[in-house]
A and B are shown apart, each in its own frame.
Chain A
Amino acid sequence: MDTSVITDNLAQYVSGAWLTLHLVFISCLCGLALAIPLAVLRVSRNHLVSGTVGVYTYFFRGTPMLVQLLLIYYGFAQFQWLQDQWQAEHPLWLLFREPYFCALLAFALNTCAYTTEIIAGSMRNVPHGEIEAARAMGMSYPTLLRRIVLPSALRRAIPAYSNEIILMLQGSSIASAVTLVDITGAARNVYSVHFAPFEAFVFAGLIYLVLTFALVGAFRLAERHWLAHLQPRKSAAAPVPSA
């Protein structure tokens, strides 16, 4: 091991880690924001509505994220219409020439599909009695969702959602396929300059490992906070039966 390969290129790894982090953070945030309304549609009793969302989630969960990314970055350029927009320098469509934007879009659409199914599954598992009780109180459907179903479903989705974010962190390493220099991209650069694969990739692996641990720790805290009501009662806190 030649540690100078790593120390000389530390700046590249740090900026790569920064790119990885905000790619994952922004795409997960957008994915989650879009997944909540989609999950509501997914559990709809109207088969046309739930089926349409189902087709979207089936496509994005059934194909590799790498292919989705290539489809957006290289694939869309096939259409003459898009190239005409580029010629006209239309600001919105020019985004599709940016690898950063394409990666963000592919990641967000991918994680949104998984998150939609996680939240929809969690919504279906809300105890029936709670829904009946809410109906009996005369709640309308939007009120029922807002006050009863979503607060409970979103909390119980946290464990599955934490797995999804960790998979996104790992999955984001394909960003280097569209020329982005994330952690993996930095390692590939270092490898090609110094021809030192062990130093380059082991160090990248360590950064991912540390980020994964940090995420696991953060989610453990989140679960302790939002799922406190589902924890087994601690014996010390158990009420002492009065004599």
Chain B
Amino acid sequence: MKRREFIINTAAATAGVALMNKKSYSKERSVEEFMNTDSQNILIIIELFGGNDGLNTIIPYDQEDLYLELRPNLHIPKEFAIQFGDSDLFLNSGLIDGVHNGGMMNLMSTGKLAVVQGIGYDNPTLSHFRSSDIWHSGINSTDPNEKLLEGWLGRYFAKILNNYPDDIPAHPIAISLEGTIPLMLKSAKGDMGVSLQNPERFYQLGEGLTPKSLRYHTPTDSFHEREFNFIHVVAEQSEKYSQVVKEAYEKGKDKIKVNYSTGLPQKFRVISSLIAGGIQTRVFYMRLSNFDSHAQQMQYDYTGAHYTLLNNLARGICEFLDDAQQQGFADRIVGMTTSEFGRRVNDNGSRGTDHGAASMQFMFAGSDEYIEGGYYRVEGKPDLNDLDEFENLRHQYDFRRTYNDVLETWLGASPEDSRDVFGDTFLPLGILNKRASSVWEFIRPTENQDFLVYPNPSSGNLNIRFELKKYARVIIELYSTIGQRIEVFTNELLPGGNYNYNHFVYNTGEYNIAITVGNTRIIKKFIVIR
């Protein structure tokens, strides 16, 4: 059986995550190579603003009767949805129809796509703006009067860049392809990133923008001085980065290997040129709007507004990943979609849907080495029979868990960093694999792995074996798949040497084992079957 089929079938049959951590570091690579290479990692974020209808994106044909009953005017018939193999995963055909290279289905088959079902947060708000602020800030505040003024990435980058904005990095740390900087990139130190749409124009216009006058001293109580300083920094960045962006764009624009189609793909084209030209930006942000489909979301031929939007999204992602593959930077790319909420389970009679709560999320990567593709959900979820008081789907995964995959696994944050960013601990979902990790500073491989977890699946016995190179704190914790901590097995300072921990897990089911050493947290799946 091919590995991909194995994953998806398991997903349908059990709890829906990739079973084994396949990462074995079997290739001959030095520890040094593993170190400090995180800086090559690039994150693409596509916000689907308005609230994407998750149920018509990934269609719940495992609950066919209920789906048809709740969506009399707005269901996608089974023959118009596209099934992945013989699994429970049915995709909206807009994600595939006419899309480059077989669309999202091809990404699924090649293990580069993860579909996360049941993503959301406690006490969901049905307001676009509040919910969007919650997603952008990474703070779930139930008090609507609490202003959310900083973003999750903004806070993380502000932590890294101590002297910002007095010292700004040589390359923009993040680029928004929209006219504005989204909340997720804002911080108390200012905007962590720049926005641009047309790199050539950006350059032509950037020259000579640095103001002749100096900034005022901070902090200041004067409103005028505060705003003056804010504008001053943007002006300085505009000039400084216009040069960097031009150089990268000029170098990279002719390296494009794919004919990008219209709409969102054109933004991907710009990103591809910049990366090909050597820009060292870590995060690219795009927004696709008009998901707020209260009316006329679908035409009678099952295409229409929502289909068109998904098609736009899929074209962008698939054209870009193929281009990246051909150009040779695919293994640096990881991407995710976000949307402030899903939509109401029952349609509203205007051939549309009202605001909902939990929904689905795509994560993708240019290389299957860095992502465990598959269908991530808790067994039997989303349950169209088990709705909240407003008849919306319940979430199983807090959205900060996939954020944390990105932060800890892809952008080099330590568990402590991510706790600072979110104000709480969220276990990464374990979708992404680290390119290289600082565990190799502390760990010598055991049978080609960092930590050997065996047997797996197990009838209850759990052994964790590893070799510590030098003195370090090691924390080993057992978590449920929905991210609740069940037990702390170990939290101690250990001298170098070989270790083998033995535990017994009583209840059958699927678990995550989180092992933290140095500043890195590694997630291992562990399954108990009897």
Pair from one complex: no
